[in-house]
Amino acid sequence: MNPLDAIVSIASDLTAALSSEQRYRRLLSALRRVIPYDAAALLWLDGADLVPVVSEGLSEDAMGRRFALHEQPRLQILCRSAQPVLFPVDSELPDPYDGLLAHDHGFTRIHACLGCALRVGDELIGVLTADAAHPDAFDGIDTGFLSAVGALAAAEMWTTHLIEALEQSAERQGRIARDLMRDVQLRQGSELIGTSRLMQRLREDIELVARSDFTVLITGETGVGKELVARAVHNASERRAEPLLYVNCAALPETLADSELFGHVRGAFTGASADRAGKFEVANGGTLFLDEIGELPLSVQPKLLRAIQQGEIQRVGSDKAVKANVRLVAATNRDLEQEVKDGKFRADLFHRLNVYPLRVPALRERADDIALLAGYFCDVTRRRLGLGPVRLEPDAVAALKSYAWPGNVRELENVLSRVTLKTASRVPRGEPVLLARAHLGPDFAGAAAPANESIAQRIEAVPANVDLKDVTRDFQRALIGRALAEHDGNWSAAARSLGMHRSNFHHLAVRLGLK
């Protein structure tokens, strides 16, 4: 393909009915035919950071990172330049992609590097970068062609984000493009990280239910991110400009739960020295998030039911009913249906809460997202500790993907934070911190064993003096996690695939801490 054909291909995609992923992939594909790169990326400017939206030739975890401009001199130069930039092959400036290549091209630093700023009018919206192993790979590329490509790439990104914003929020169609783009970026900045089918389905469900005022019940294991889902529902709703209040029902003493939720009047009980509004009144017009709803005392549940049914509450010690226009979102890691059968939760309240259930998948059910999450958490930890680059070796990524993660995303964050801190203590300040499987600890020692590895070899790899019970439990967790992932989280199907009765499978999962 000659340069003119590449430009025509990119321009034609501007009017084609394509998804954002397809648009970006086609753009990089067209460029590769005229720019012989080994790695390329489109990055969106989010505040003072550049965030990858699509890449080729970079590692999986690179897409979970944010590149702060004040830390990346090459990206700074691209953003400030009005023309495309081809860096000298002997440039001493650090490259943002050092250590983040998907394949080993035989070099530790990028030798050939070019890029250009993406602008709409005078506004910088991102950058396009291309890198190659061979120093002369980009010799002879016309800068006029790169300028044209940059202009079209900017138009492509701008158009794609406009379309996304219009599709997600029809009521905002009258706003100017800048407001629409900012809204889309806020959504993309959410910590609901993941591109797996389960996460895509969860996002679709959030967008659907957010348009309504239905009560939402979020279920899932501890550490999966139920609070983040509650925030996403609120932020995508008509109430997003109003408050989102959080109440941890597990932390509410039974004697104070009434007052905390519904308020009280002066003299209602010992210590009630003044009138006090409860969370329902404070959240009026907004959203009230009741976390750990399964822990709510039975004595308080009838009043909550009334608040949901009639939209009114009554302060402790008052006869006056107060209207409360509140959207209720609840979350639990308990099986509320079983709690109802056991008499620990009211059936009528459960059905009122369960108008639109949202199940947050366990991390082991979406192993494809682990690399993205790992890259994100490594970057967060690096910023908090003021470290140099934090990189994950391929064997570490494979081990993370193979682990069962009973503590889910929260456990992944804790593991990476702890391992990064320990490993960084043995590395000179500012030098790259490389995390290998060996750094992850004994829980990961047997993870990611090749399929053709014999049982004897796997046993040989297990550290000495380990507890047989712990090793057996970890193996069972991993096996159950794989079965669930293969059957989209369907516990019955997973049980059948392992030759177990559903009830026995359930009891085993509870014993292993997976339910």
Q: Would you list the DSSP string of 195-243?
A: -SHHHHHHHHHHHHHHTS---EEEE--TTS-HHHHHHHHHHTSTTTTS-
Whether 502 has a pLDDT exceeding 60, the answer reads yes
Mean pLDDT of 148-176: 63
| Residue 350's pLDDT band (cuts 50, 70, 90) | very high
In this structure, what DSSP letter does residue 264 have? B
Report the candidate in 375, 307, 357 with the shortest Cα–Cα distance to residue 66.
375
* Residue 511: how many other CB atoms lie within 10 Å: 11
Q: What is the pLDDT of residue 375?
A: 93
Report the pLDDT averaged over residues 430-442: 88
Give the Cα separation of 10 and 13 in Å (integer).
Answer: 5
pLDDT digits (tens, 9 = 90+) for 197-250: 999 999 999 999 999 999 999 999 999 999 999 999 999 999 988 888 889 998
Digit-coded pLDDT (tens) for 359-415: 999 999 999 999 999 999 999 999 999 998 999 988 899 999 989 999 999 999 999
Q: What is the DSSP letter of 101?
A: B
> Cα separation of 113 and 54, whole Å?
18
Strands (E) in 225-381, as ranges, are 244-248, 287-291, 312-314, 321-323, 327-332, 356-359
Closest CA to 430 of 66, 71, 65: 71
Residues 124, 66, 406: CA angle, nearest 5 degrees: 150
Alpha carbon of residue 403 to chain centroid: 19
Q: What is the pLDDT of residue 466?
A: 62
Q: Which residues of 277-306 are buried (b: 16+ CB within 10 A; e: fewer)?
A: ebbbbebbebbbbbbbbbbbeeebbebbbe
| Amino acid 10: pLDDT | 59
Determine the topology of domain 3-168 in CATH: Beta-Lactamase (3.30.450)
Please state, in angstroms and rounded to a whole number, the distance separating the CA atoms of residues 503 and 233.
33
Please state the rounded mean pLDDT for residues 142-163.
Answer: 79
The pTM of the full predicted model, rounded to 2 decimals, is: 0.67
pLDDT at 187: 41
Among 451, 468, 514, residue whose Cα is nearest residue 220: 514
Q: Is the pLDDT of residue 182 over 50?
A: no
What distance in Å separates the CA atoms of residue 41 and residue 101, rounded to the nearest whole number?
A: 12
Fold: same for 3-168 and 364-457: no
Q: Which of 320, 362, 310, 387 is nearest to 490 (CA)?
A: 362
Which run of H or of E encompasses 399?
helix 394-402
Residue 11 confidence (pLDDT) above 80: no
pLDDT for residue 515? 67
pLDDT at 29: 82
Domain 364-457 sits in CATH at 1.10.8.60
Place of tokens 């000495």: 464
| pLDDT at position 178 over 50 | no
At 141, is the secondary structure helix, strand, or coil?
coil
Contact 150, 128 (CB under 8 A): yes
Hey, what amino acid is at 421? L
Bridge partners (DSSP) of residue 222 are: none
Which stretch of 155-164, 169-178, 346-355, 391-400 has the lowest confidence by average pLDDT?
A: 169-178
Among the listed residues 312, 329, 320, 299, the one whose alpha carbon sits nearest the alpha carbon of residue 231: 329
Residues 6+ apart with CB under 8 A from 515: 221, 335, 506, 509
Q: Which of 198-212, 325-339, 456-470 has the lowest mean pLDDT?
A: 456-470
CA nearest neighbour of 113 among 60, 72, 151, 82: 72
For 103, which DSSP code?
A: S
C-beta neighbour count of 43 within 10 angstroms: 26
SS3 (DSSP) at 432: coil
pLDDT at 455 over 70: no
- The number of C-alpha atoms within 13 Å of 314 and in the hemisphere containing its C-beta is 13
Choose among 200, 213, 199, 158: nearest CA to 180. Answer: 158
The stretches of 81-196 forming alpha helices (DSSP H) are: 143-168, 177-188
Q: What is the mean pLDDT of the chain?
A: 82
pLDDT band at 256 (very low <50, low <70, confident <90, very high): confident
First to last CA, the chain: 55
- pLDDT score, position 450: 46
**Comparing C-alpha atoms, which of 88, 74, 153 is closest to residue 118?**
153
pLDDT score recorded for residue 318: 83
> Does 302 have pLDDT greater than 60?
yes
Looking at domain 467-515, its CATH architecture is Orthogonal Bundle (1.10)
Q: Compute the average pLDDT of residues 254-261.
A: 84
Q: What is the pLDDT of residue 348?
A: 94
The partner residues of 54 in beta bridges, in order of sequence, read: 42
Residues 6+ apart with CB under 8 A from 511: none
Highest mean pLDDT among 34-48, 242-256, 325-339, 501-515 belongs to 325-339
Provide the residue ranges of all domains of the chain, joining segments of one domain with +: 3-168, 197-359, 364-457, 467-515
* DSSP string covering 495-515: HHHTT--HHHHHHHHHHTT--
In the predicted model, what is the mean pLDDT of residues 172-188? 36
User: What would the mean pLDDT of 432-459 be, rounded to a whole number?
Assistant: 68
Question: Closest by alpha carbon to 327, among 275, 376, 398, 279?
Answer: 279
197-359 folds as Rossmann fold (3.40.50)
Please report the pLDDT score of residue 166 as a whole number: 59
489, 361 Cβ separation under 8 angstroms: yes
The Cα–Cα gap between 413 and 408 comes to: 9
